[in-house]
A and B are shown apart, each in its own frame.
Chain A
Amino acid sequence: MTSTTGTAVETTVEIATGTGWVTICPYDRLTPGRGVAALIEGEQVAVFRTRAGELYALGNRDPFSGAYVMSRGIVGRRGEVPIVTSPMYQQAFDLRTGECLDEATTPDGTPAALPTWRVRARS
């Protein structure tokens, strides 16, 4: 985007893949306190921005329901832990580690943790 006062450098959100960084969207597109989903090499990633401006990226699949909906959860905080709650059955996950704070395992017995991804804002 150009303007008469010069070139504004847009800050973008990027996620690390095996080979490099992939641009997701402009940083300003992320609503503070919400997430978006992104497709990275066929895999779904949920990217969140907190009110303080931190970025987190987790797997988009809710391990309890099996649906790819984590990006649509409410972002918040439990004590010191930044969390996102699954919009399906409301379990809370630690945004930093992907761990589920409410239940250790899913109904099928697998650990209820989301994979995490490296994410950064870059101007």
Chain B
Amino acid sequence: MVGQRFLEALTEAEPRPPGLRITVLAEEPRRAYDRVHLTSWFSGTTAEELSLCDDAFAAEHGIDIRLGDPVETIDRAARTVTTRAGHTVGYDTLVLATGSYPFVPPVPGHDTPGCFVYRTIEDLEAIKAAAERARVGVVVGGGLLGLEAAGALTAMGLDTHVVEFAPRLMALQIDDGGGRVLRRKIQDLGVTVHTDAGTRAIVDRAGRVAGMVLSDGTELATDLVVFSAGVRPRDRLARAAGLAVGERGGIVVDEYCRTDDPHVLAIGECALAVDGRVYGLVAPGYAMAEVAARQLVAGPPDPDRTFTGADLSTSLKLLGVDVAGFGDAHGVAEDCVEVLYSDPLAGVYKKLVIGADGRLLGGVLVGDAEAYAQLRPLTGSPLPVPPEQLVLPAAAGPRGQLALPDTAVVCSCHGVAKGTIRAAVTEHDVVDVPGVKRCTKAGTGCGGCVKLIGKIVTEELAAAGIETRRGLCEHFARYTRAELYEIVRVKGIGSFARLIDEHGSAEGPDADGCEVCKPAVGSILASLSGGHILDGEQAALQDTNDHFLANLQRNGSYSVVPRIPGGEVTPEGLITIGEIARDFGLYTKITGGQRIDMFGATVDQLPSIWQRLVAAGFESGHAYGKALRTVKSCVGQTWCRYGVQDSVALAIELELRYRGLRSPHKLKSAVSGCTRECAEAQSKDFGVIATAEGWNLYVGGNGGTTPRHAELLASDLDHDTLIRTIDRFLMLYIRTADRLERTATWLTRIEGGLDHVRAVVMDDALGICADLDELMGRHVETYEDEWAATLADPERVRRFVSFANAPGVPDPTVRFTAEREQIKPVLFERLEVRGR
């Protein structure tokens, strides 16, 4: 990583040194990758995703990267190195970034099969393979990496032990109090922690690890052992070449990262810095990489770019537990005082170390490290607010906004100060976090500071009077979706053409929109002006799903989803669906939303399939639209011995009332007949749960990738009040939400949140309820089934052909194979098509 950072710093340097040629000689079989996030490999992050160096980087800068062929000897007199494969490469400057190797205590049996270290992707592959046949695993070492390894073993289903020599976990970074809290939290996760425990021997049975003996004589039965007892600098090459190394290892370098040979530099974990330390963290390594690159580019030593030491601050989530230590975490400075907050029940421990002069020197945070991002940059500065405000939980008192000084280092991986980020905004027109990343590199290391960067950018933009709000897209840069909705509503605009001509940013009478604004405006027009969504110009606005009133699937075929309100369907209806699916050879599946999906229809088949569905009384289920999908229900009072209200009847009523309602995002709903919640109403955009007195209404829930429970909007509503409240809630959402913004996000974004919504829809705080009621009333009155209306008009049906010049010909590329007695899509083999 440090070597890669060095390459980046070198290639970004201005002016570019003339005639610079770079050769990288690497031991591992792959290019530089992110070791900080190595553990994420176990949860599915691939080696490619961890990679820090792609083909393009090497190619663009003409860097010759040779993998799997490490340097074996250095000839300083001839200025050449010789690799294991026997190649000799000359150099003007040699940069050693050989890193470190894991320290394995020399206990008997330490090399028995089943013993591992935790360093490279290859190590992880070996551990994973062994874990498949193992039940118990022991990690030797309770530091940062050891706990990560323990987390990985636990996740693979092993009974996991951590054996730590020191009296506490993470002895380097945190103190005894923090260690106790961390230990308890980690034990709660099922990991057994042994502190004050050394390893005496590994038990070898039949050539494999069977256990280990601790220093107090107890024996732990285990199937594998992972050593994570620290690292040692890899200085063998330098030693052999006669370069000075430290007493306990590490290539001696000066503040410019130079060894005692001016043509050889050393950076990262193999180097012994001027302050007498070997740094095992990535941030100091990156700092050294920058300094070394500066030497090569700028020639004579630049006194402003030196490396004289770094602090050992770290903040991370270990097995889901926040842990951070920064600055003088152990309070070793003379006359310092400690401010402590400890809540063992909640598993929170926070300590600030404050100097005699009132400056913040360091601290430890366990269980809640949110304050780290603001505290670490303040290290060395006087506290801006009383210390208790910084450690008390947010609920216990106001947490003062910290005014960080410009010199405060926000991104410690790349050493970027707050002032640099502010300058990016004020001088380089950066308006967002990605922009800051490109411009300053801040936030591109471990990513822990990204939230703080976002805050700084927003503050800076606000201070400069720049609007932080972003428009819908380049064609409507000045308006959000909610504002366009109001424009369309107030001016009675009925077409995209008029909207973009009168309010779009693009010039010219025939301006086009894009894939962002067209469907968004199409949705606004559909929810406000009614009419068929495929009529006239509106047809051009719809994405392919809306355009063909069906859902596009992976091989270009479509799925068909009839509405089954409340999930209630007659046997006759089931038979009809079955017959249609059988006759058209469709794959059928019952969905989570209590409907039946039929997959595998071609564009040409859609009208004939729907002809039969409509004839049997089925309607469009709008599975293709950003619209109401389903209202799920349990069987309720009618059949269930616990139900207190008729949930099926209400679900059907709601589904029919809101069917076809176009909205910023799809809408899902459910009704449960009692508090047992069999319909899962609390995970829906709006959900209703019966009580003995009436109905409780929940809003703003969703499943999906970021699940969120709905919140209670109102309790014990009678039927009419319930319907009226949902009407207004939905209309307020449709009117004010952003494009593709679900109710959950909308609720958390809007000022005042749920309380504001309650005031608007229940107490008419804005005086717009009559308006909302009228809009919903119009929707309910004018609803017509889209598929029935499509079939009634030959012009609309005519678009459902595979080929404009061969209407009867089906698309030969839509093909299927069979699986479990049904069809399954296959992608057509590639045809070479050449344009003319």
A residues whose Cβ falls under 8 Å from a Cβ of B: 15-18, 22-25, 29, 31-34, 36-40, 43-44, 47, 50-53, 57-59, 61, 65-69, 72-79, 82-83, 85, 87-88, 90, 92, 98, 114-118
Contacts and interface: CB of A to CB of B under 8 A. Distances in A.
A61 B833 contact: yes
A44 B556 contact: no
Given A51-B497, A51-B512, A75-B512, A39 B836 contact: no
Nearest to A36: B804
Which bucket holds chain B's interface residue count?
35 or more
Contact of A29 (B513, B554, B804, B836): B804
B458 interface: no
Given A31-B540, A77-B513, A115-B833, 9 more contacts: A24-B805, A32-B540, A33-B540, A33-B541, A38-B806, A53-B510, A67-B828, A74-B514, A88-B552
A54 to B, nearest CB: 9
A32 B475 CA distance: 18
B788 interface: no
A74 B704 CA distance: 26
A115 B543 contact: no
A66 B828 contact: yes
B548 interface: yes
Given A78-B514, A88-B552, A37 B804 contact: yes
Nearest to B834: A115
Top 8 closest pairs, chain A to chain B, by CB: A33-B540, A115-B835, A76-B514, A87-B544, A52-B510, A36-B804, A67-B556, A77-B512
A61 B811 CA distance: 12
A83 B836 contact: no
Interface in B775-827: 798, 802-806, 809, 811, 813-814, 827
Nearest to A53: B510
B836 A17 contact: yes
Given A67-B827, A92-B515, A117-B835, A39 B803 contact: yes
Contact of B514 (A37, A77, A115): A77
A31 B539 contact: yes
Interface in B520-575: 537, 539-541, 543-544, 547-548, 552, 554-556
Contacts of A79: 474
With most chain A CB atoms within 10 A of its CB, the pick from B554, B555, B805, B813 is: B805
Interface of A is mostly: strand
B394 interface: no
Contacts of A50: 510, 512
Given A74-B543, A76-B515, A83-B514, A43 B831 contact: yes
Contacts of B537: 31-33
A44 B497 CA distance: 30
A39 B835 contact: no
Interface string B502-516: 000010101111110
B830 interface: yes
B828 A68 contact: yes
B542 to A, nearest CB: 8
B831 A67 contact: no
A38 B556 contact: no
Given A67-B554, A69-B552, A76 B512 contact: yes
A98 B552 contact: no
Contacts of B475: 77
Contacts of B540: 31-34, 51, 74-75
8 contacts: A15-B836, A66-B828, A68-B828, A69-B556, A72-B552, A74-B519, A75-B540, A83-B514
A77 B508 CA distance: 13
A52 to B, nearest CB: 4
Contact of A39 (B515, B547, B798, B809): B809
B518 interface: yes
Contacts of B541: 33, 74
A38 B543 contact: no
Contacts of B813: 44, 61, 67-68
Contacts of B543: 74, 87
A57 to B, nearest CB: 8
A82 B834 contact: no
A68 B512 contact: no
B804 A24 contact: yes
A32 B541 CA distance: 10
A82 B810 CA distance: 29
